[in-house]
A and B are shown apart, each in its own frame.
Chain A
Amino acid sequence: MAFEEIHSRAISEWESLQSSSKPRILVGAGTCGRAAGALGILEAINKELTQRKVEAVITQVGCLGLCYAEPMIGIIKPGYPQIIYGNLTPKLAAQLIDDYLVSDNPRPDLALGYIGDSKINGIPNLFELPVLKPQVRIILRNCGFIDPENINHYIANEGYSGLVKALKMTPEAIIEEIKKSGLRGRGGAGFSTGQKWDSCRTAPGGEKYIICNADEGDPGAFMNRALLEGDPHSVLEGIVIGAYAIGANQGYIYCRAEYPLALERLRLALHQMEECGLIGDNILDSGFNFHIKIKEGAGAFVCGEETALMASIEGKRGMPRPRPPFPAISGLWGKPTNINNVETWANAALILQRGSEWYAQYGSERSKGTKTFALVGKVELTGLIEVPLGITLGEIIYDIGGGILKGKGFKAVQTGGPSGGCLPASMLNSPVDYESLTAAGSIMGSGGMIVADEDTCMVDLTKYFLSFTQAESCGKCPPCRVGTRQMLGILERITQGEGKPGDIEQLEKLANTVKQSALCGLGQTAPNPVLTTIRYFRDEYEAHINEKRCPALVCKDLISFYILPDKCQGCMICLRNCPVEAISGGKRLVHVIDQDKCVKCGTCLDVCPPRFAAVAKVSGEQIEVPQQPTPIGKSV
């Protein structure tokens, strides 16, 4: 079948869907949606439709990126724009079918926004919402709107037009186009993608390999998963284009096994591509052969490092090896290999579809295009976002993220996952691009963005990242294997109140040793959380070490709970809820916490009625309280 034929078939399917006389319901059923209960919603909707004898077209779509509002559905009633509803329950969803499809009440109270030109009273335009307005969703353009399990949906929305174009170009011209777009690796290191392709293309050797790195392992990062689940073909198209440009006939997608839905959709997508002649031998009659194998990772963080990833594909233990030789010269099985991250491949496809000039309009001088981030942590509106590079951290956190949760103060934002750094409020005006983040001591990384509020202890947060990197170290080189453990040991001591003068200096020394001498990127960047938190939050370290005080009141060994005698009303709620029976008291008696028994769980603080507010959490100070329960009102 020629591509024109495939294309027109896809267009007609898509158009008939758009002009369908039946209402359409889009259920966001990515892993995130499912975790929030999307499948229950789906079941409720189906049941309600059957009961009400309403015919509707239901499609499971990928993630729209508004994690805070999951589970979500979209309803397109013929003649009306699509309305997106969020924070649903099965009951609410069923009610919605009744109200909107049977009755005609669009329920503005449940709606997040509408999509399209005509307006619906009481419902805002979705893309005018503060959370979406600053975003530029070009990589995620299809996520949440097309059926990821139907190749025709992708094709009808410009899909594979980039590949068709590419196959008529010379490989050199494709690489030139990528270079002109200014695309840089979205895996985090930010190397020029065009240059990378070029060096693999010109590397001597007949057999070459292409690898898609889908081993997304940063804690709190899920950009690649959402893209693979919501629009797998956008990635696959990029891979085929890259293979053609480089001259590879075999590709691998290294995807973590913890992404079962993404894997399922990838397999299905590959099958559909095969049927359409978009992969396999003689792709679209171009004479170009290319095959893809999927390799499931087994949950080692280090396998996201490209040389470890290749070792893993080869069936060896995933351990990095030193460069040179670079993978472009000697990669998988010693052959020239080009490895890019999921998002990079999707960008490549888009660049070919719409041209490098169009693409380069987005972004900053040296960082072109957009970047997806998983915005998580203490922000109001967590989600999967896509922003033009060059946007400031503040815009992301306050405009898109809606500010800090519960109106608390901002403390830091951690970019780049465990390899990145923690940036303070003074950096909020700093643009998000490769150079600026690096200059600030962090990295772009693959797109994790974790926001910490004023209640976060930076030493404790650093300890968390270090415990992750030290546990995930492959163990090959001593700086990473032992260095991270030593740093973790010191951090543990500090948070336990056993910090000593000189600890900060020793941490810095260790961090620099590891940074300079570790074998791979994982090890070289592992000290970044330590270095940045010392750089920006040194006072917190000093408070822990010198004053045995945790300013954020987090580190259990450094905090105490007291019941304030002048506020306690002797209601006994705290006494009954204390899990370790550390509180003594009685009716109308001022309660007392036995500090030796207390495990600092904070239950007393949580349960004390706010009107009393009799429990105090302090660090570095002692509050004078009675030794024994005493009647209320009597002075100490």
Chain B
Amino acid sequence: MVISQETKIINLAIDGQPVKTKEGTTVLESAQQAGIYIPTLCYHHSLTPSGSCRMCIVEIEGMRGFSTACTTPAIEGMVVKTNTPQLQELRRDILELILSEHPYACLICDRKEHCEPFHITLRKQAETTGCTMCPKNGRCELQKVVDYVGLTEIRLAPSRREAPILKDSPFFDRDYNLCILCGRCIQVCQEVRGIGAIAFTYRGSRTLPGTAFDKSLQDSGCQFCGACVDICPTAALTERSGRWRGLPERSVITTCPYCGVGCQLSLEIKGNRILRTVPVMENSVNSGQACVKGRFGITEFVHHPQRLTMPLIRKNGKLVEASWEEALDLVTEKLASYKGDEFAFIASGKCTNEENYLAQKFTRTVMATNNIDTSARLCHAPTVAGLAQAFGSSATTNSISEIRSAACILVVGSNTSSTHPVIALEIKRAVQNGGKLIVADPRDIELCRYADIWLSHSPGTDVALLMGMMRVIFDEGLADLAFIKEYCENFDAFKKSLKNFNLDSVEKVTCVPGDKIAEAARLYATYKPASIIYGTGITQHSHGTDNVLALANLAMLTGNIGKPSTGVNPLSGQNNVQGACDTGALPDVYTAYQSVDNPDIQKKFEIAWGCSLSASPGLAVTEIRDAIYKGEVKAIYLMGGNPVLSEPDAKHAQEALNKLEFLVVQDIFLSETAQLADVVLPAASFAEKDGTFTNTERRIQRIRKAIEPAGNSKPDWWIICQIAGRLGGKGFSFEHPSQIMSEIASLTPSYGGVSYQRLEEGAMQWPCPDDAHPGTSILHAGKFARGKGKFSPLIYKSPCELPDKEYPLVLTTGSSLYHFRTGTMTRKITGLNAIEPEGVIEINPVDACPLKISDGSKVKVVSRRGEVIARAKVTEKSPPKVVFMTSHFAESAVNILTNPVLDPISKTPELKVCAIRVEEVQEL
């Protein structure tokens, strides 16, 4: 819990200087706060001090011997000396010992400045052997400490390790010849990442960080997040990318383009090239952490030779390069004839707020239709519908930084460590802090390792599971009735609906033992504050909105909402799903969920935009397909999506796109969908433009133009403005996204106080209604957005397609840590493809055995809608009768199999459950 305590201030003297510090601070921290430098090598503020390098030894009056400043707590009246001649000599001696194992020429050479110009000619050398070739030269912490203590000569016999350079990571090398055994890599892997892939191995002078039994990093559980590389003080761990391109000339802080966490990354740039992407430590949601995709999966796709660099126009059935003039003229000419409901715009959770805003403005004002939707339809539309109904606001209620203080966390339908790795760190941190963790997921996901209870319920039975838990909570008197009475409504109707969920029947439906459900219920209801975290495992169902309502009920029932470390927290899968919805790229609402059929709102926008607007809601992405078949929609403008792979029953979806009279696709690569287009417009990547993304906790963060766009590609906002202008649209003459944000702020109550100027001072979380408002970290504090929180009575509905004789297994889908969505970006990354080169179908040995399927054998997966070939991975991670596939691979496109049936409220398809059978494929 975040409780502000009165911390005692204590006084001490460091080097004769009086220092005031808070109780609980170490001597080192006190010195740092007072601006006194004490040399350190093993210390890092994000880790538990280990006191191993001994460089920070100090003299403390009254204490025997020397103490390490990093581990010694500051005490009232302490008198500390940090740099007596004796200490300095001892430090020199220790450092000399360290350097006797280290190729140290660079550290003590008096000509080191002079060799700088020769780097370029020496860089081809594969190994680091001295001053000129060390990849950390200039950034090495050892160099700094050597300078401080003034070590100029090594009198000890060199005892080099002659260790081979380990290259078993696709992204970084491990050269333990340069290791000083500070242990930071090991600590960060264990304490911060919760992985423990590496540890000290062997003893004595043979001690080195390594994996268990010297296995490869991947075999020892490494997830290649790069935290060890970032924290290494020397060049023992160095990223391979960009190593020989020299030092960066500048760096630009921006937001990661992958998932909804919104990690702040520093792009290190030389010329017009990104050398590497390093997570930002200070003032960021990610506190110096990233995942493998953000850390190592960006530079290669941004600079990929397959980037679209020129517009393409289909001529004689083939896409051929064209000038911008020609392409824009063609698009303008074509679209002019589809104004009205024959046109639909599919915006994107990958594009900026400004671009999505322009997309819906263009659709509504220029094309005169509300047929605008985004990829959010495929994931979080039930969240938008459900949370709006229950609470009155459709977004994540609490903030990422609160997770670590939760006393209990319920993770349901979210393989967080794969989809939102940095949020998973917060969950692990909560567990380290003593918090309880309940994981509800059919599969044995990584978080199960950390969980107190794992509820392995059958796919699609979430409502039964959650209502069962609520029944226990209510029956055992664990409900927060006072909270309910004061803040909620419709409780009686809800209470009545609990009757159908006695534990026996719930056990039957969910296949989870009743006492385990009861235990989870008690844990969640009694360990407060409790937080709910969920993902698409909740939403991608034919009753996705019911699932969300069930979670809302659960939070209200226990009063776990509107307070720190509580709430109902959906994790958005794409970087800007939240923002795309906030900025009105939805068929029924303008920005900030202002309904198109509300006459007052309609009027407001008509005045602002200077045109008349349609009051009838448009089509959802998932409805457009049928509309195409019916001939109602004839032209589509697709910005950044890849429906050929992402939509359920993908074959059908592709056929629909083929039926269109005109398809324009705007993307950074020639995606599977772009290949079907009449015109392809090359878009600039996130690193090549300005804008904002809104992350999963409603935080509006800047992306910044770091390099010039690849070839002739252009930012999406610029392209839309061009087309809108050519079609006679008014209000599209923007020169910079900041101007677009000003317009958004003027029309969007929750973004009212957002401006680029303010964002420079720090990102803020909406609602931020005016310039003076600091933003909101916790929603529904004191009062629900809709007034009273509304309980929803629920009934259990089974998934639409259940296994039968012909299709005896349930297929559920999800994401891998190493790839993203349809793979457009991640499959361009050599290293990620090396780790996970192809899609597999995970199948339990119980199911695999009778089918004569062994690990690695090729199988055919068949559903009522189609079939795909993939390799089997026989694993107990999937329970019997449930198989699992990811959606990243076009070669084994899982959405050929999935069921397009929709949740009637949110129009989100049931991507998480369909019936399939698996057949052995005879390999020749």
Measured between beta carbons, the chain B residues less than 8 angstroms from A486 are 97, 100, 156-157, 159
Stretch of A76-84, A149-157, A244-252, A513-521 that contacts chain B: A513-521
Tell me which of B57, B68, B203, B207 has the highest count of chain A C-beta atoms within 10 A of its own C-beta: B203
Residues facing B in A466-497 (CB within 8 A) are 470-479, 481-486, 489-490
In the bound complex, do residue A322 and residue B181 qualify as a contact, i.e. CB atoms below 8 Å apart? no
| CB-defined contacts of B202 to chain A, threshold 8 Å | 475
Using known A-B contacts A485-B204, A489-B157, determine if residue A479 contacts B73 with beta carbons closer than 8 Å: no
A293 interfacial contact with B, CB 8 Å: no
Residues of B within 8 A of A519 (CB): 51-52, 54, 68
Produce 1/0 per residue, B37-60, CB < 8 A to A. Answer: 000000000000011111001000
Count of A-B contacts judged by CB separation below 8 Å:
103
CB atoms of B200 and A324 under 8 A apart = no
Pairwise interchain contact A517-B54, C-beta atoms closer than 8 A = yes
Q: Are A513 and B90 in contact (CB under 8 A)?
A: yes
Instruction: Please judge, given known A-B contacts A321-B51, A481-B181, A519-B52, whether A475 and B156 are in contact too, CB under 8 Å.
Output: no
**Residue A107 CB within 8 A of the other chain:** no
Chain A residue numbers with a CB within 8 Å of B157 are 486, 489-490
Q: Tell me the complex Cα distance, A618–B97, Å.
A: 37
B315 interface contact, C-beta 8 A = no
Is A475 within 8 A of B72, CB to CB? no
- Chain A residues, Cβ within 8 Å of B93: 509-510, 513, 517
Please give the distance in Å from A257's CB to the nearest CB on chain B. 16
Give the Cβ gap from A496 to chain B, nearest Cβ, in Å.
13
The verdict on B66 contacting chain A, using a C-beta distance below 8 Å, is yes
Chain A interface, >50% SS class: helix
Whether the Cβ atoms of A483 and B52 lie closer than 8 Å is: no
In the complex, per-residue mask of A148-172: 1 if CB is within 8 Å of any chain B CB, else 0? 0000000000000000000000000
A470 interface neighbour in B52, B180, B183, B205, Cβ under 8 Å: B205
In the complex, residue of chain A having the shortest beta-carbon distance to the beta carbon of B93: A513
Within 8 A of A (CB), among B88-110: 90, 93-94, 97-98, 100-101
Q: How far is the CA of A319 from the CA of B50 in the complex (A)?
A: 10
Interchain CB contact under 8 A, B203 and A471: yes
Determine the chain B residues whose CB is within 8 A of the CB of A506 once the complex forms.
Answer: 155
As a 0/1 sequence over residues 197 to 223 of chain B, the CB contacts with chain A under 8 angstroms (1 = contact) are: 001101111111000000000000000
For chain A, the count of residues having a C-beta within 8 Å of the partner chain is: 33
- Interface members, chain A 228-281 (any B CB < 8 Å): none
Which residues on the B side are within 8 Å of A476 (C-beta)?
50, 52, 181, 183, 200, 207
A482 in contact with B205 (CB, 8 Å): yes
Q: Do residues B199 and A317 form an inter-chain contact, with CB atoms below 8 A?
A: yes
**Are B71 and A322 in contact (CB-based, < 8 A)?**
yes
Q: Are A482 and B97 in contact (CB under 8 A)?
A: yes
Cβ-based interface call for A300 (8 A): yes
Query: Given the interface contacts A478-B97, A478-B181, A486-B97, does A473 sit within 8 Å of B203 by beta carbon?
Result: yes
User: Please, which residues of chain A bring their CB within 8 A of the CB of B98?
Assistant: 478, 482
Which residues of chain A have C-beta atoms less than 8 A from B180's C-beta? 478
Contacting residues of chain A (506-565) with chain B, CB-CB under 8 angstroms:
506, 509-510, 513, 516-519
Q: State whether the Cβ of B65 lies closer than 8 Å to any Cβ in chain A.
A: yes
Q: How far is the CB of A434 from chain B (nearest CB, A)?
A: 16
- Evaluate contact between A485 and B159: CB separation under 8 angstroms: yes
Which of chain B's residues have a CB closer than 8 A to the CB of A475?
Answer: 181, 200, 202-208
Q: Which residue of A lies closest to B75 (CB)?
A: A324
Q: Which of chain A's residues have a CB closer than 8 A to the CB of B156?
A: 486
Which A-chain residue is minimally distant from B180 (CB atoms)? A478
Least CB distance, B531 to chain A, in whole angstroms: 25
**Known contacts A317-B200, A322-B68, A324-B72; A481/B90 CB under 8 A:** no
CB closest chain-B residue, reference A468: B204
Contact yes or no, B183 A472, CB < 8 A = no
Residues of B contacting A300 in the complex (Cβ-Cβ under 8 angstroms) = 203
| Complex contacts, B199 vs chain A, CB 8 Å | 317
> In the assembled complex, how far is the CB of residue A418 from the closest CB belonging to chain B, in whole angstroms?
13
B177 to nearest A CB, angstroms? 14
B790 to chain A, nearest CB (A): 44
Number of residues of chain B lying within 8 A (CB) of chain A = 36
Which of A481, A509, A516 touches B207 (beta carbons < 8 Å)? A481
A476-B183, A517-B66 known; A485 vs B53 contact (CB < 8 Å): no
Q: Give the residues from 94 to 120 in chain A that come closer than 8 angstroms, CB to CB, to chain B.
A: none
Cross-chain contact B94 with A479 (CB below 8 angstroms): yes
Contact of B204 among A472, A477, A509, A510 (CB under 8 A): A472
Most B CB atoms within 10 A — which of A472, A485, A506? A485
Complex: how many Å from CA A189 to CA B200?
28
Q: What's the Cα separation between A479 and B94 when bound, in Å?
A: 6
Q: Please tell me if the beta carbons of A474 and B203 are within 8 angstroms of each other in the complex.
A: yes
Q: How far is the CA of A486 from the CA of B204 in the complex (A)?
A: 12
Contact between B205 and A517 (Cβ–Cβ < 8 Å)? no
Contact (Cβ within 8 A) B52 A477: yes
Alpha-carbon gap, A483 to B98, bound state (A): 9
Q: Mark A293-322, 1 if CB is under 8 A from B, else 0.
A: 000000010100000000000000101011
Contact with B along A319-350 (1 / 0, CB 8 A): 10110100000000000000000000000000
Shortest distance between the CB of B29 and any CB in chain A (Å): 15
- Please tell me if the beta carbons of B203 and A489 are within 8 angstroms of each other in the complex: no
**Closest residue on chain B to residue A485 by CB atoms:** B205
Residue among A321, A473, A513 making CB contact with B205, cutoff 8 Å: A473
* A470: chain B residues within 8 A (beta carbon): 204-205
Q: In chain B, residues 177-201, which have Cβ atoms closer than 8 Å to a Cβ of chain A? A: 180-181, 183, 199-200
A468 to chain B, nearest CB (A): 10
CB pair A483 B73 closer than 8 Å: no
Q: How far is the CA of A346 from the CA of B436 in the complex (A)?
A: 42
CB distance from B213 to the nearest CB of A (A): 14
In whole Å, how far is A322's beta carbon from the nearest beta carbon of chain B?
4
CB distance from A518 to the nearest CB of B (A): 8
Do A321 and B73 contact each other (CB < 8 Å), given the known contacts A474-B207, A478-B98, A481-B205?
Answer: no
Chain B residue at minimal CB-CB distance from A470 = B204
Give the distance in Å from the alpha carbon of A274 to the alpha carbon of B93 in the complex: 54
Residue of B nearest to A486 (CB): B156
Q: A513-B93, A513-B97 are in contact. Are A479 and B207 (CB under 8 A)?
A: no
**Contact status A324-B181, CB under 8 Å:** no
Is there contact, CB below 8 Å, between B204 and A473?
yes
Complex Cα–Cα for A481 and B181 (A): 10
Give which listed residue, B54, B65, B90, B207, contacts A473 with CB less than 8 A: B207
Kindly report which residue of chain B lies nearest to residue A489, judged by CB atoms. Answer: B157
- Cβ-closest chain B residue relative to A318: B203
What's the Cα separation between A486 and B158 when bound, in Å? 9
What's the least CB distance linking B57 to chain A, in Å? 6
Return B52 CB to nearest CB of chain A, in Å.
5
Residues in B neighbouring A471, C-beta threshold 8 A: 203-204
* Alpha-carbon distance between A506 and B156 when the two chains are bound, in angstroms: 9
Contact mask for chain B residues 428-468; partner A; CB cutoff 8 A; 1 contact, 0 none? 00000000000000000000000000000000000000000
Q: Which of A423-474 contact B (CB under 8 A)?
A: 470-474
A-contact bits for B141-165, CB 8 A (1 contact / 0 none): 0000000000000011101000000
**B residues less than 8 Å from A489 (CB atoms):** 157, 159
Nearest CB of B to A521, in Å: 12
Bound state CA distance, A234 and B136, in angstroms? 59
In the complex formed, the residue of A with least CB distance to B97 is: A482
Query: Once the chains are docked, how many angstroms separate the CA of A477 from the CA of B52?
Result: 5
Q: Please name all residues of chain A whose beta carbon is closer than 8 Å to the beta carbon of B101 when the two chains form the complex.
A: 482
Bound Cα distance from A486 to B53, whole angstroms: 17
Find chain A residues with CB under 8 A from B181 CB. 475-476, 478, 481
Q: Which of B71, B93, B97, B202 gathers most chain A CB within 10 Å?
A: B97
Known: A472-B204, A518-B54. 9 other contacts (CB 8 A): A321-B71, A470-B204, A475-B200, A475-B206, A476-B52, A477-B51, A478-B180, A513-B90, A516-B90
14 A-B residue pairings within 8 Å (CB atoms): A324-B72, A471-B203, A472-B203, A475-B202, A476-B50, A478-B54, A478-B180, A478-B181, A479-B54, A481-B205, A482-B159, A490-B157, A513-B93, A519-B68
Task: Name the 3 nearest CB pairs between A and B, nearest first.
Answer: A475-B207, A322-B51, A482-B97
